[in-house]
Structure 1
Amino acid sequence: MTGSFTQAAESLRVSQPTISKAIKDMEEELGVHLFDRTGKKAELTNDGQTVLAQSRDIVQSFENLTTGLNPDARAQKGKLRIGLPPMAGAGYFPEIIGRFHERYPGISLELMESGARKIEDDIESGALDIGVVLLPTKQQHIYHTIPIADERLAVIVHVGHPLASRESVTLKELAGQAFILFQEDFALHGRISAACLGAGFQPRIVCESSQWDFIGNLVAAKLGISLLPKIICRRMSPDRITVLPLADPVIPWSLAFVWRKDRYLSFAAREWIRFVRTFYPNV
């Protein structure tokens, strides 16, 4: 506040009549007097003080908005919803997630653990921004992908199982065994069941779970056998579990981060994608 329309005009580099007219127009628009002009200086009325305070809030809000729209600032904050199957989360991503959080502490990561089939559905619906799914997806053409794993399934049995001494087994040899599988919303459930049907038998499923470590414990307790990716099999205790390569047919376990091609990506999502690519540079 200068107390003078002339000084205000000089400060703003406009003419004094321009300042006077702008104030007069504002007073007519608001229906109040903003300045008391009876003294040597133009002083704000009570209404003028209120308008000044509100105007400062508006200016500050605008500055905050423009700062928030700055690409560098936007990359440092936001929210990202990521879907992870339990096995993928256990085997691949704790280190990546930890490093990303250290680098971008202002970005909130909402990690949703579920089966790959449900994760794919949630990405399609927009409930998730990005997620890890089992390839191939139902609608491969609608996604961008970052391949992150290409493994095979192996058979796990308890150490006293009749097959435990074998070097490998075929799927046909598992006919009649009790199977412990992931629940139906896991893509692996359908893939194993389809492979068994292709080998000429319907798997006898005695238990389903959403947790790979619980499946391992049930196998160790002699409730049945299971098929898991090799990266998870390596986490099993050799004192309780024997891991057997599946010789015929080979059942692939290929994982990828996917996100929809036709959907807007926030700066947080773009930074996550860029960050993940540094861990998988050859994709």
Structure 2
Amino acid sequence: MDIKHLKCFVTVAEYLSFTKASEILHITQPTISKMVKTLEDELCKTLFHRSPKIELTDVGKVLFKQAKEILILFDNIESELEDVIAIKKGIIKIGIPPIIGASFFPKIIGEFKRKYPYIDIQMVEVGSKKIERLVDEGTLDIGIVCTAPIQKDTLNMFPFVKSPLMLIVNPNHKLNKKEIVKYKDLKDESIVLYGKDFSLYDVITNRCIENNFYPKIVCESSQRDFIVEMVAEGIGVSFLDEKTYSKINTKSITALKLEAPSIYLHLFVIWKKNRYISFAAKEWLKFVSLKFNINLEI
């Protein structure tokens, strides 16, 4: 039994087709059949029922599960060896929500690049929900999300920033006279908000529903700067965390405190569990955790 035999078996088991496995692996169908038969002979067990259609036997199902894990481990070994050869080089694909991108990360990225000039960072700006999905699928190496991820069983995470959410309004808005804004004050207000792919959409909507009304969302956008401009033009009110607001150099909007209990923009770093982490991604995780005094073992 070797890796080639296991890879052959797993491919047949995934598609329940010797023909399809032959096409994917670029191996003749007789060779595929012979390799599977060799496995069956070594194990003294039948792995497939072959008529009237191909199905895994109970033994085949057990081997299929274990073989997939073995192949993942083997791929990880190959990837780690490649990293050793390409010392301190690599690419990291990181997803960040637009609400926090420009406020938190340029300085961190700059410091990281000075330490690792040969590591390239590809930033993808999308909502937290999509980031979580892309990390879980393996499209992104690392994600920054605004709330704890739902897929906790498949994702590693650590929190690193917590900032209270504030209401932002045009300086001439009637709510600007209030020291603290209650959510019921927003019942008849037009609200400009991030789209449904953003966790903040659910957070705000749920808080409004808790106060017995549904928010009047007049515009959705994925871009923070656009939302700020819409508020500045008096199109509606919106929400921004305190740290981000403090870094925006504008007098065209005002930030107001919201009633307790406060909603916090709580940022989490997430990455896939039980998946090989490249040298570049590992160094990024270490760098960020040290930056925010977080004890992280990878």
Both structures adopt the same fold (TM-score exceeding 0.5): yes
**1:209 aligned partner, one-letter code:** S
Counterparts of 1:108 and 1:236 in 2: how far apart (Å)? 27
**1:158 aligned partner, one-letter code:** N
Match of 1:168 among 159, 180, 187: 180
Residues 1:180 and 2:180 are matched in the alignment: no
Instruction: Pick which of 266-275 and 121-130 moved more.
Output: 266-275
Match of 1:155 among 167, 176, 200: 167
1:61-72 alignment to 2 at 5 Å? 69=81
Larger radius of gyration: 1
Residues 1:208 and 2:214 are matched in the alignment: no
Counterparts of 1:255 and 1:140 in 2: how far apart (Å)? 15
Cα shift at 1:69: 4.0
Cα shift at 1:153: 0.9
Could you tell me whether the CA contact under 8 Å between 1:85 and 1:114 is conserved in 2? yes
Gap change, CA 1:177 and 1:270, over 3 Å in 2 = same
Cα shift at 1:225: 0.4
Counterparts of 1:251 and 1:120 in 2: how far apart (Å)? 21
Deviations 1:9-43 (A, max 9, x none): xxxxxxxxxxxxxxxxxxxxxxxxxxxxxxxxxxx
Counterparts of 2:268 and 2:87 in 1: how far apart (Å)? 23
Deviations 1:195-239 (A, max 9, x none): 111111010111111111211111111111011111222244563
Matching residue of 2:232: 220
**2:106 aligned partner, one-letter code:** P
SS in 1 for 2:193: strand
SS in 2 for 1:87: coil
Matching residue of 2:274: 262
Could you tell me whether the CA contact under 8 Å between 1:119 and 1:131 is conserved in 2? yes
**2:283 aligned partner, one-letter code:** E
Matching residue of 2:285: 273
Identity, % of aligned positions? 38
Match of 1:195 among 207, 213, 217: 207
Unaligned runs of 5+ in 2: 1-79
Residues 1:239 and 2:251 are matched in the alignment: yes
Counterparts of 1:282 and 1:270 in 2: how far apart (Å)? 14
SS in 2 for 1:227: strand
Residues 1:132 and 2:131 are matched in the alignment: no
Cα shift at 1:168: 0.9
Could you tell me whether the CA contact under 8 Å between 2:160 and 2:267 is conserved in 1? yes
Counterparts of 1:112 and 1:237 in 2: how far apart (Å)? 24
Cα shift at 1:112: 0.8
Counterparts of 1:238 and 1:77 in 2: how far apart (Å)? 39
Counterparts of 2:250 and 2:138 in 1: how far apart (Å)? 42
SS in 2 for 1:262: coil
Gap change, CA 1:262 and 1:72, over 3 Å in 2 = closer
Deviations 1:244-272 (A, max 9, x none): 11113421210011111211101111111
Counterparts of 2:247 and 2:115 in 1: how far apart (Å)? 29
Cα shift at 1:241: 1.4
Counterparts of 1:235 and 1:277 in 2: how far apart (Å)? 22
SS in 1 for 2:259: strand
Counterparts of 1:108 and 1:238 in 2: how far apart (Å)? 32
Matching residue of 1:13: none
Counterparts of 2:83 and 2:192 in 1: how far apart (Å)? 49
1:55-94 alignment to 2 at 5 Å? 69=81, 74-94=86-106
1:112-131 alignment to 2 at 5 Å? 112-131=124-143
Tell me how many residue pairs correspond in the alignment: 217
Unaligned runs of 5+ in 1: 1-67
What TM-score, normalized to structure 2? Answer: 0.68
Could you tell me whether the CA contact under 8 Å between 2:83 and 2:278 is conserved in 1? no
**1:186 aligned partner, one-letter code:** F
What TM-score, normalized to structure 1? Answer: 0.72
Please list every run of at least 4 consecutive aligned residues from structure 1 whose deviation after the TM superposition is greater than 6 angstroms: none
Counterparts of 1:73 and 1:228 in 2: how far apart (Å)? 45
